[in-house]
């Protein structure tokens, strides 16, 4: 499937921004699940952009603003061709050993209730893959999607106790439970094409990948209770949301900040394809959901 993506973030400041440095994790990379046809990042003021990769192999763009501004708009756009591989993720240009993703973090540390839940799920299935499917499906029945129930800083245990949250919370809970039963799992940020709703979305999407011997990394979306297919565009992965936040950084000046995000994912008509990819803490972090 050929998808067109637009991710637009706009900042407004009550006072001139004197200077800023932002880390942008907005650029997807090609693998066997997806081919990036073109991609670019635009900024509506004089700024310097430097491309590199972080320790997880994610494409990052460092953005530097040195001139006073009272507003800033960052737009990432491009086209990606996706392939449905039944959730199995392979061909990533850079990857770390699966064992790295057994490590707990403040956002994914399980409490006693979450550990008991994970053990109960593990006891209902024989294989690792079955346990992960059971975990993903059961979260849909246990949790209620509520965009007002959590913050960027909400951890897995708190969201699990509340029984409400957004995709970020579902993903943190899935990861915490998987690690509690010794299954490596990691957080993934990206985009979801909603076949029956192409309206603008207020955030990007989040899901998880878990390690299954014999298959490798398998992508699970516990918010929707399915494995990721060709409706998903993978952008970045890490131990938790803090490692993949689409935009994060520091600034000087600016006064009070207001941020708005608009994401559009639409299907494009197929045509002949090029295999070229163009790469073309005062700040609020963008949530996902």
Token pair recorded at residue 279: 């790469």
Predicted local confidence at residue 270, as pLDDT? 65
CA distances from 66 to 1, 46, 123, 129, 256 (A): 40, 8, 56, 50, 19
Predicted local confidence at residue 271, as pLDDT? 61
Long-range contacts of 125-131 (CB under 8 A, 24+ apart): 128/183, 128/210, 128/212, 128/213, 129/212, 129/215, 129/218, 131/181, 131/183
The half-sphere exposure of 261 on its side-chain side, counting CA atoms within 13 A, is 17
Report the Cα–Cα distance between both ends of the chain, in Å, rounded.
23
- What lies within 8 Å, CB to CB, of 235 at 6+ separation is 25, 26, 27, 28, 58, 188, 189, 190, 191, 204, 244, 246
- What lies within 8 Å, CB to CB, of 139 at 6+ separation is 170, 173, 174, 222, 225
Report angle CA 94, 99, 105 to the nearest 5 degrees. Answer: 95
- What lies within 8 Å, CB to CB, of 51 at 6+ separation is 27, 59, 60, 61, 62, 279
Q: Which parts of the chain sit beneath pLDDT 50?
A: 273-282
Give pTM, 2 decimals.
0.90
Q: What is the pLDDT of residues 105-124, one digit of tens each?
A: 999 999 999 999 999 988 88
Residues present in the chain in total: 289
């Amino acid at each position: 499937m050929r998808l067109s993506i637009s991710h637009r973030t706009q900042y407004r400041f009550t006072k001139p921004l004197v200077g800023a440095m932002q880390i942008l994790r907005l650029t997807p990379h090609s693998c066997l699940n997806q081919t990036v046809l073109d991609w670019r990042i635009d900024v509506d003021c004089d700024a310097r952009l430097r491309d590199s990769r972080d320790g997880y192999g994610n494409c990052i763009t460092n953005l530097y603003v040195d001139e006073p501004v009272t507003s800033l708009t960052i737009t990432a756009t491009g086209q990606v061709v996706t392939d449905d591989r039944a959730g199995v993720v392979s061909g990533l240009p850079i990857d770390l050993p699966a064992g790295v993703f057994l490590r707990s973090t403040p956002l994914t540390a399980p409490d006693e209730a979450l550990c008991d839940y994970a053990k109960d799920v593990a006891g209902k299935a024989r294989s690792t893959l079955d346990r992960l499917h059971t975990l993903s499906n059961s979260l849909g029945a246990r949790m209620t999607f509520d965009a007002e129930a959590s913050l960027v800083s909400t951890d897995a245990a708190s969201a699990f106790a509340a029984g409400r949250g957004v995709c970020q919370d579902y993903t943190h809970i899935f990861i915490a439970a998987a690690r509690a039963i010794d299954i490596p799992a990691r957080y993934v940020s990206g985009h979801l094409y909603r076949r029956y709703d192409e309206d603008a979305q207020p955030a990007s999407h989040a899901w998880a990948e878990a390690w299954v011997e014999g298959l490798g990394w398998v992508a699970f979306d516990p918010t929707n209770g399915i494995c990721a297919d060709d409706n998903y565009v993978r952008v970045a992965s890490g131990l938790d949301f803090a490692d993949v936040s689409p935009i994060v950084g520091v600034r000087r000046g600016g006064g009070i900040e207001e941020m708005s995000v608009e994401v559009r994912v639409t299907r494009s008509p197929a045509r002949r394809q090029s295999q070229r990819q163009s790469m073309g803490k005062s700040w609020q972090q963008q949530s996902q959901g």
